[in-house]
Amino acid sequence: MLIQVYTDGATNEKIEKSGAGIYIKSGEKKLEYAVPLPYMSNHEAEFYAIIEALTICQTEFKGEILSFRTDSKIAAEAVDKGKTKNKNFLPLLETIQAQTSDFPFLFIKWIPEKENRKADQLARKAIHQQTS
């Protein structure tokens, strides 16, 4: 079965908090995760959202085919092409590549923000779950 994974990262610069939102659809099963992250750039949070989602999938859907959707063109292209020129993203991409070895296939596709609302809501929720 193809597992659909929607990810989004968010950063609130005013309160210096970041979060990852992950929404997973597997047949009738729908899983939602709002994961607080340390403060980082919005782009880094997008990569961390993918890492967090892969960690969840390693437990919940090991050996399944994963179809990732993100509204981050930078993250989607880096994962799809397996390379990035940005030194900050390189260790994150390497972590993602190491995690994907547990799955027969991982597709990643950029989608417009309006198609990623659920993951976006979860990422914003994660920011506000944190206590200072």
Instruction: Label residue 130 by pLDDT band (50, 70, 90).
Output: low
Tell me what pLDDT residue 1 has.
82
- Please give the domain boundaries of the chain with CATH numbers for all domains: 2-129 (3.30.420.10)
pLDDT in the model for residue 102: 86
Residues 6+ apart with CB under 8 A from 46: 7, 8, 9, 70, 72, 74, 75
CA distance 63 to 60: 10
Look up the pTM and report it. Answer: 0.95
Q: Rounded to a whole number, what is the distance in angstroms from the first to the last CA of the chain? A: 41
